[in-house]
Amino acid sequence: MNSTPKASSRAGSGARGRVDWRSLGPLAPVVVFLGILFVFPVAQLLWLSLFNDQGAFTSVHYERLFDSAVYVKVLGITFRIAAWTTLLCVVAGYPVAYLLATARVHTRNMLILWVLMPFWTSFLVRTFAWMVLLGRRGAINEWLQALGITDAPVKLIYNFAGVMIGMVHALMPLAIVTMLAVMRNIDQNLSLAASSLGARGGQSFWRVYFPLSLPGVASSALLVFIVAIGFFITPALLGSGREIMIAQVIIEQMEELLNWSFSGAVAVLLLGTTLVVFFVYDRLFGLSTMSATGGIVDEAERRPGLISRFGAYVGGRLITLMGWICDRFSDAVEMLRAPRPERPRATLSRKVLWATGMLVLAYLVAPSFFVIPMSFSEAAFIKWPPEGFTLQNYEMFLGDPIYVGAMIRSFVVALTSAGLAMLLGVPAAFVMARRPMRGKGVVFACILAPVIIPHIIIAVALFYAFAQVGLVGTTIGLVLGHTVISVPFVVVTIMAVLKNYDTRLDQAAWSLGASKLRTLRHVTFPLILPGLIAAFLFAFVISLDELTIALFVSGGQTPTLPKQMWVDAIFKLNPMVTAVSTVVLVFVTSLILVAEFARRRSEKVMG
Amino acid sequence: MTDPSYKLRILGLRKTYGPVVALAGADVDMHEGEFLTLLGPSGSGKTTMLMLIAGLIQPEHGEVWIDGRLSTYMPPHKRDLGMVFQNYALFPHMTVYENIAFPLRMRKVSEAAIRDEVRRVLDVVQLAGIEARHPRQLSGGQQQRIALARCMVYRPPIILMDEPLGALDKKLREQLQLEIRRLHRDQGITVLYVTHDQEEALVMSDRICLMDKGEIVQLDTPDGLYFRPESVFAADFLGESNLLDATVRRIEAEVVHLEGPGGVPIEAPARDGLSEGMAVKFMIRPESVRLLEGTESADNTLEAALQDVILVGQVTKHYALLAGGTEVSATSLTHHRLPRFTQGDPVRFGFDRQSTVVLPVSGPTPAA
Ligand SMILES: Nc1ncnc2c1ncn2[C@@H]1O[C@H](COP(=O)(O)OP(=O)(O)O)[C@@H](O)[C@H]1O
Ligand SMILES: [Mg+2]
């Protein structure tokens, strides 16, 4: 595809292996930035957990970690919750991704918005929505009783099921989007070819489509699992108190006990766990399956590790079995309704797929909208159905100086950090997308690391680092912290845009007499402008919705909006929160729609 | 019922996608062992027709008869057809061996028999010894042959091929054209072939089905299609042609007299559907046009001003403008004694009545 420009620029860069450092200059700011604000603080955290005040080695924190059964148990719970979340996300997300991948372009573009919207709408808002829906006096319980299915309210949340509902809801869009990236690269003719060669629907799916989609399943499972083990909001708000995850321990140690070294040790444990998960994944599937947003990894290029060979064997058996089961199932269906040459075949499987997909999408999209009617309710506490109509929740919200301050602060921080992320990320994306260089993979991994590593680790590390230089509780500290996690999104988005960009346009401009700078200004930027806007808005929304880093870095007196909502929710859920949620929901959703349309326009412009 | 001597027959087959008519009621018959090619520009419905025949999509109307059996809505695995896809559609996660074994496994053939069959068919396509490789590790030509092998291994009596050589370079394409023809002859398979390359269609086919915008324009032998096109589209699509406006003046039993550009009288063989005063076009192939020397005469002549003489290897092309500004070209074998011309020289082009084809004009055209 883009081998020609690559080959020619490689030839142009002279002797093999010699790097033109000046051409990599634009990469420097982001490398320095992440070095200081990400790598160094995390390393320092590691150090802190291993050495005492005098700089002598100590394993006391880790001994304490493993001495007490509590923490081992928490680790176990964390794994159990993350594993269940991953399983549910992948299993329920797969049909949706498959549906999207095989639908017509127009249908797909519409449905994708429904997946993306909850992906970006405020995480806290969605959690509140579940509380509204599933609470003792929530909509589901009211309906169940109205329909006479139950007599008394059923306990739907504040237990393991509640945690699962919330976490799967939060992470399934990520699973779907990741699987979709791989599935869209699967040639649909392959399934047709399998049919023409004598495979029935089920056989063709299990033997051809499914194996080809596995890299997507694997990478989405990895991402979901990694993100899930760093979760704390959902278990804290929807759990029973027994579903304590490791991130909650870190918060507790920091906030209540002020034991930085020990929480550092817990964070390192979490980090270690993350790395182990990556390692196992790499052994099983190869990390390269991740990078290529799709791209089927050639079997022959894979490392023939023992695990993967075993996996291949088991997988082969499983696929044969599934194919067999589907054949028997088709036999049964054909007994009821034999195919006849003069009668159109029923597209039963497609209908089942649509029904499943719509059900899952409804689960993803619908809950958030429940907060909207609730925000106009006159009731003094949150209960379904809303009573009457009043704006008092909004009046309360806008009359509360803490909330208004928090909202303004969030806005300023999001705007500044998105700008900073663009300044750092755009030049880096250009280098990453266009310049050949050795060790690109390593640099890319470093830039992506802040997304992949649980945010709570970054938060703790930054808190400690900022405390030393007095940045805790400052707007600058927040901006820097948010930029660390939004810069990878900017780089990835712009890189994707540049991948579709035909560099011959630039060459044409040069040949027509434009200087490099003028080319950039008059040709390149106008063409990628929608992509730039999308990247900016994504960075903006990430910061606006960010809670983990804000929780630590913003001081008690200067909260961001999510932090203020969190603090309130922990104590008591006030109806006012539905008004705040509605405002955030509407605002963020419109931004995301704008960003998504901008991104699509850039795709369309560049063919 | 349908005549059982047809191997494959479609009747009034129609498929639409929303407002797009992909195939508008097509009728085609094929005899056993025939090589029929669907030829047409991209988007003319060729792939759609193949998929309907293979059962990969379902039609709205019409019938598909395979081997004398009605098969319109039968699932694909119940039709004994083979299909080679546009970009081969080799399964990337399977080795060459597994790819070729796939249709046999679906038919529950024993592993021992599969081994023999795969070996046999790899010999046929002259690619023995690459069983363990993955499709990605093969060249385009090799992938093409594997796709062919995978399709032939279960000996389907009918094979559908969708632009199987479209992605290859010219030289390889010509080589594989010959190989496919050889396979077709040796194995006695009935082949429905798709291409948008007219030369390929002419080289390979027993008959050509010319398509445009979801409709069959003409179904004829290569010879018939080339020398007796029935429409402007057919004349224009296949080979080079001079298409000129004319009006019908007089119709006789064998001959129709036309008034050509600038009032020149033109004679052509008579055909149906003409009436006096009707605006038509007439078509003449450049290789049927001669440069007339001196007082030499021909059935039809055109006077023009020479614009360009281009030597294209074995042939030389002359381009000239008629008085009305229409370009006419003549192609002749390159000959070192060809008289030299300079631009603007008056020339006389001559051509036989028998090689002149009158074509009805579809849609309104300005009179000549
Ligand atoms: N799955 C589809 N959905 C919508 N339109 C389609 C689909 N498949 C084909 N078409 C349309 O049907 C027409 C015929 O397509 P096709 O049979 O693929 O043409 P060809 O193979 O001759 O290039 C085209 O206009 C194409 O856009
Ligand atoms: Mg086609």
When the pLDDT of each residue in chain A is averaged and rounded to a whole number, the result is 83
- Comparing CA positions, the residue from B318, B256, B306 lying closest to residue B281 is B256
- Choose the closest CB to B93 out of A199, A296, A339: A296
Q: pLDDT by residue (tens digit) across B166-182?
A: 888 888 888 889 889 88
**Domain annotation covers residue A43:** yes
Three-state DSSP at A282 gives: helix
Q: pLDDT by residue (tens digit) across A68-90?
A: 788 888 888 999 999 999 999 99
Instruction: Write the burial class of residue A2 (CB in 10 Å: 0-12 exposed, 13-18 middle, 19+ buried).
Output: exposed
Task: Give pLDDT, residue A308.
Answer: 63
**Domain annotation covers residue A386:** no
Chain B CB contacts of A194 under 8 Å are: 91, 102
pLDDT (mean) for B187-191? 90
Which chain B residues touch A if contact means CB-CB below 8 Å?
Answer: 51, 54-56, 58, 69-78, 81-83, 85-87, 89, 91-93, 95, 102-103, 106-107, 133-134, 136-137, 150-151, 154
A194 touches chain B (CB under 8 A): yes
**Domain annotation covers residue A7:** no
| Interface subset of A 321-340, CB within 8 angstroms of B | 339-340
**Domain annotation covers residue A5:** no
Task: Give pLDDT, residue A7.
Answer: 39
* Gap between the Cα atoms of B353 and B265, Å rounded: 11
Q: Is B142's pLDDT higher than 60?
A: yes
Distance A3 CA to ligand 2 centre (A): 27
The domain of A193 spans 21-381+395-606
- Residue the block writes with tokens 């399943």: A217
Q: Is A294's pLDDT higher than 50?
A: no
**Domain annotation covers residue A72:** yes
Chain B CB contacts of A203 under 8 Å are: 106
- Nearest chain A alpha carbon to B53: A196
Per-residue confidence band for A197, with pLDDT thresholds at 50, 70 and 90: very high
Q: Is B53 in the pocket of ligand 1 (CB under 6 A)?
A: no
B6-232: CATH topology is Rossmann fold (3.40.50)
pLDDT (mean) for B225-254? 90
When the pLDDT of each residue in chain B is averaged and rounded to a whole number, the result is 89
Radius of gyration, CA atoms only, chain A: 26
**How many other C-beta atoms lie within 10 A of the C-beta of residue B159?**
23
Q: pLDDT by residue (tens digit) across A127-153?
A: 888 887 888 888 888 888 888 888 888
Q: Is B46 in the pocket of ligand 1 (CB under 6 A)?
A: yes
* Gap between the Cα atoms of A496 and B218, Å rounded: 46
- Choose the closest CB to A195 out of B56, B69, B154: B56
Nearest CA-CA distance, residue B106 and chain A, Å: 6
Look at A354 and A70; give whichever has higher pLDDT: A354
Would you call A189 and B92 a contact, using CB atoms and an 8 Å cutoff? no
Chain A CB contacts of B192 under 8 Å are: none
* Gap between the Cα atoms of B344 and B308, Å rounded: 9
* Gap between the Cα atoms of B208 and B206, Å rounded: 7
* Gap between the Cα atoms of A203 and A187, Å rounded: 17
- Nearest chain A alpha carbon to B80: A198
Task: Give pLDDT, residue A22.
Answer: 66
Q: Which ligand is nearest to the CA of B211?
A: 1
Task: Give pLDDT, residue B60.
Answer: 93
Q: Give the CA angle between residues B197, B202, B205 to the nearest 5°.
A: 105
**Domain annotation covers residue A355:** yes
Whichever domain contains A401, its CATH number is 1.10.3720.10
Per-residue confidence band for A434, with pLDDT thresholds at 50, 70 and 90: confident
Task: Give pLDDT, residue B4.
Answer: 57
- Choose the closest CB to A187 out of B75, B78, B89: B89
Distance B43 CA to ligand 1 centre (A): 6
Distance B43 CA to ligand 2 centre (A): 7
Q: Which of A102-111, A251-260, A540-549, B255-264 has the lowest mean pLDDT?
A: A251-260
Chain A CB contacts of B109 under 8 Å are: none
Task: Give pLDDT, residue B336.
Answer: 67
Are A65 and A253 a contacting pair, CB within 8 Å?
no
Look at B101 and A370; give whichever has higher pLDDT: B101
Nearest CA-CA distance, residue A190 and chain B, Å: 5
Q: What tokens appear for B43 in the block?
A: 């988007």
Q: pLDDT by residue (tens digit) across A557-586?
A: 788 999 888 888 877 777 888 888 888 888
Query: Which residues, other chains included, contact A146 with Cβ-Cβ below 8 Å and sequence gap of 6+?
Result: none
Task: Give pLDDT, residue A19.
Answer: 55
ipTM for the complex?
Answer: 0.84
Q: pLDDT by residue (tens digit) across A205-261?
A: 999 999 999 888 988 998 899 889 888 888 888 888 888 888 888 888 877 777 777
* Gap between the Cα atoms of A190 and A210, Å rounded: 11
Three-state DSSP at A443 gives: helix
Task: Give pLDDT, residue B362.
Answer: 66
Look at A600 and B118; give whichever has higher pLDDT: B118
Task: Give pLDDT, residue B3.
Answer: 56
Q: Is A154's pLDDT higher than 80?
A: yes
Look at B252 and A438; give whichever has higher pLDDT: B252
- Choose the closest CB to B150 out of A189, A195, A197: A197
Q: Is A117's pLDDT higher than 80?
A: no
Query: Where is B161: in which H helix or E strand?
Result: strand B158-162
What DSSP state is assigned to residue A197? T
Chain B CB contacts of A300 under 8 Å are: 133-134, 137
**Domain annotation covers residue A241:** yes
Task: Give pLDDT, residue A18.
Answer: 54
Per-residue confidence band for B368, with pLDDT thresholds at 50, 70 and 90: very low
Q: pLDDT by residue (tens digit) across B309-331?
A: 888 888 888 999 998 888 999 99
pTM comes to 0.84
Look at A572 and B39; give whichever has higher pLDDT: B39
Pocket test for ligand 1, best of B14, B47, B161 (most atoms within 8 A of CB): B47
Q: Is B22 in the pocket of ligand 1 (CB under 6 A)?
A: yes
Four-way CATH pick for B240-354: 2.40.50.100, 3.30.700.30, 3.30.360.10, 3.20.20.140? 2.40.50.100
pLDDT (mean) for A14-28? 63
Q: Is A466's pLDDT higher than 80?
A: yes
Q: Is B367's pLDDT higher than 60?
A: no
Per-residue confidence band for B111, with pLDDT thresholds at 50, 70 and 90: very high
| Positions of CATH 2.40.50.100 in chain B | 240-354
Total of domains in chain A: 1
Task: Give pLDDT, residue A90.
Answer: 96
Task: Give pLDDT, residue B214.
Answer: 93
**Domain annotation covers residue A15:** no
Atom of ligand 1 minimally distant from the CA of B45: 17
Task: Give pLDDT, residue B337.
Answer: 64
* Gap between the Cα atoms of A275 and A269, Å rounded: 10
Output the residue whose Cα is nearest ligand 1's atom 7: B17
- Choose the closest CB to A208 out of B51, B91, B150: B91
Look at A300 and A582; give whichever has higher pLDDT: A582
| β strands within B213-352, DSSP E | 215-220, 242-251, 255-259, 265-269, 279-284, 290-291, 300-312, 315-322, 327-333, 346-351
pLDDT (mean) for A306-325? 79
Task: Give pLDDT, residue A5.
Answer: 40
Q: Is A302's pLDDT higher than 60?
A: no
Tell me which range, A88-92, A301-305, A381-385, is most confidently predicted by mean pLDDT: A88-92
